[in-house]
Amino acid sequence: MAVFFAVTLSMDALGVGFAYGLRGARPKLITYAIVFGVSLAVMACSVFFGNIFAELLTPRRAEIIAGTWIFLLGLWIVFSAIKSKPQGDKAAKTGIFGAFSLALMLSIDSAGAGLAAAAMGISIAFLPMYVAAFQAAFLALGVFVAKKMPVKKGASLPTLASGAILMTIGVIQLVL
């Protein structure tokens, strides 16, 4: 479940990488390392605090709160993807500052989901490492795929899918 959760949380990196690739950006290895490091740190902190949160509540209450949080996070991701507008070339910068900005942007939704995952009792021992690895890998894959695919307008399919999957996980958690 942790790998599935990590893949879901990291799918937006595929869309971001795709957008970067369409603009001709060629992120350097340091960019991927920064994305990995920041994602690992943010996710580890969120899992740590999620465990504390889970100990303060009854298991069912923690599941309800976490399920609701994950559903709302997925809903927010879907609406953000639908409302998003293509950004200019400025967004394609991949220097050190750009890499940190990118890493924080990719990690922000993972932080809330990490809290919820820990509170739900998902096996989170390796979750931070999985999320960090998939964030960096999907970013690289998105850049690579962008060279092979035609330009498409509208919401990013990977981001929409990520949001829909998180919403589904949240609903399942609320129902079970």
Q: Following DSSP, what letter does each residue of 148-165 receive, concatenated?
A: TS----SS-HHHHHHHHH
* Predicted local confidence at residue 89, as pLDDT: 46
Cα of 129 vs its chain's centroid, Å? 13
* Predicted local confidence at residue 109, as pLDDT: 65
* Predicted local confidence at residue 83, as pLDDT: 74
* Predicted local confidence at residue 168, as pLDDT: 79
Structure tokens at 116: 């919820």
Query: Residue 24: how many CB atoms within 10 A of its CB?
Result: 11
Residue segments in the chain with a per-residue pLDDT below the cut of 70: 22-23, 57-59, 62-63, 66, 84-94, 109, 149-159, 161-162, 166, 173
Q: State how far the Cα of 65 lies from the Cα of 119, in Å rounded to an integer.
A: 8
- Of all helices (H) and strands (E), which one includes residue 57? none
Q: State how far the Cα of 4 lies from the Cα of 11, in Å rounded to an integer.
A: 11
**pTM for the model:** 0.67
Q: State how far the Cα of 166 lies from the Cα of 168, in Å rounded to an integer.
A: 5
Backbone angles phi, psi at 34, to 5 degrees: -65, -45
pLDDT tens per residue across span 89-140: 444 445 788 788 778 777 776 777 777 777 777 777 888 999 999 999 999 9
Nearest to 132 by CA among 42, 18, 2, 17: 42
